[in-house]
């Protein structure tokens, strides 16, 4: 009996290993495609493409410090730019789920220090969707709230201030507690100076020379200043899309089309709460790009195939033509989308 049990265990283990290898081999063409995209590009950063259980592609390229030629490592931490917005949106939506705020609440219910008539009209929903019209806290709205879209960092800073009023905690402490609770141990509010692997970001100047960007952390943190690495962003996707951070119903709110933007990279793109997607592709390819001086990032999830795409770069080039700046990121995304389609997930 004991011998049979040993044999059965061996068969099961062998079967699992074989099945895992077979699944990884299904992505061999994708791996080759990514290699061909990166080859000759002088990409400098980290690329991670994976499902929950299969590491399809994981490589680091170039240097984390160009001057001292320190090799880039897979655990390098990057400023993730506008990928930060979905984190702030989740923090708001968790308070919404607790009943501590409503999405149609006017912001003057929380930010009483804003002495503008529009504070009685602009809602949390407007802030989340960049449809609020606020350009300056001391000026009238640029347009009637809800009537159009204008990408705004300030709107997400106001969301953080609302979170502070609701929770009684600083945004730094609130976000730090959240990251620690969910094991996002390489994701940080920059004021929580526990990060040890932050790479240096570089921008191409007018002479085509890469120079160290000293202002990478000058953006509003809730809109574009969080720090993370590839493995944590993969984990973020897994937590978010498996409904561990917010409920299924709330996740659907995040991925609902509320506003359309003519995007500098994607042309026409739809916005939810911190997430963006092409019209009708919220169940195909959803996530965000991120830019902070010296840092060019992508964090996307493919719901049908459960693939995560994380591309983190610390050399920002061709800044006068953002499509080129994000060229590697978007080509990898397109390759993954085609793989998802070709493998029948989109049917």
What per-residue confidence (pLDDT) applies to 347? 40
Nearest to 262 by CA among 150, 161, 139, 128: 150
User: Is there a contact between 172 and 189 (Cβ–Cβ < 8 Å)?
Assistant: yes
Flag residues of the chain having pLDDT under 70.
1-22, 343-347
- The full length of the chain comes to 347
Contact 242, 88 (CB under 8 A): no
Within 8 A by CB and 6+ apart from 67, the residues are 212
pLDDT at 7: 52
Q: What is the DSSP letter of 199?
A: P
> What pLDDT does residue 4 have?
58
Residue 270: strand pairing partners: 260, 277
Helix (H) or strand (E) holding 276: strand 276-277
Residues 6+ apart with CB under 8 A from 100: 166, 167
| CATH code linked to domain 29-342 | 3.40.710.10
Q: What's the pTM value of the predicted model, to 2 decimals?
A: 0.92
Contact 102, 124 (CB under 8 A): yes
Query: CB-based burial of residue 21 (10 Å sphere; 0-12 exposed, 13-18 middle, 19+ buried)?
Result: exposed
Please, which residues have CB within 8 angstroms of residue 343's CB and are 6 or more apart in sequence?
A: 26, 305
The pLDDT value given to residue 283: 94
């Amino acid at each position: 009996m004991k011998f049979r049990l040993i044999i059965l265990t061996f068969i099961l283990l062998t079967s699992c290993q074989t099945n895992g290898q077979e699944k990884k081999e299904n992505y061999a063409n994708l791996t080759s495609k990514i290699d061909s995209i990166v080859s000759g590009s002088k990409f400098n950063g980290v690329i991670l493409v994976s499902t929950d259980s299969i590491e399809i592609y994981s490589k680091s390229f170039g240097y984390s410090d160009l001057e001292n030629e320190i090799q880039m490592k897979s655990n390098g931490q990057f400023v993730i730019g506008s990928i930060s917005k979905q984190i702030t949106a989740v923090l708001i939506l968790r308070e919404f789920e607790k009943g501590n705020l409503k999405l149609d609440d006017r912001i003057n219910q929380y930010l009483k220090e804003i002495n503008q008539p529009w504070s009685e009209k602009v809602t949390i929903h407007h802030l989340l969707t960049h449809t609020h019209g606020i350009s300056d806290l001391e000026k009238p709205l640029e347009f009637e709230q809800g009537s159009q879209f204008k990408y705004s960092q300030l709107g997400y800073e106001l969301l953080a201030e609302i979170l502070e009023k609701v929770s009684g905690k600083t945004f730094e402490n609130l976000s730090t507690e959240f990251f620690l609770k969910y094991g996002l141990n390489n994701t940080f509010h920059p004021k929580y100076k526990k990060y040890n692997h932050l790479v240096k970001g570089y921008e191409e100047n007018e002479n085509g020379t890469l120079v160290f960007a000293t202002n990478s952390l000058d953006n509003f943190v809730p809109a574009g200043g969080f720090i993370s690495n590839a493995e944590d962003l993969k984990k973020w996707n897994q937590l978010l899309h498996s409904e561990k951070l917010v409920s299924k119903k709330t996740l659907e709110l995040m991925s609902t089309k509320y506003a359309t933007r003519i995007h500098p990279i994607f042309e026409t793109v739809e916005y939810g709460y911190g997430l963006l997607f092409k019209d009708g592709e919220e169940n195909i390819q959803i996530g965000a790009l991120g830019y902070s001086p010296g840092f060019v990032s992508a964090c996307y999830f493919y719901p049908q195939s459960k693939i995560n795409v994380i591309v983190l770069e610390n050399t920002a080039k061709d800044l006068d033509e953002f499509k080129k700046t994000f060229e590697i990121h978007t080509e990898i995304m397109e390759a993954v989308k085609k793989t998802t389609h070709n493998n029948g997930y989109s049917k």
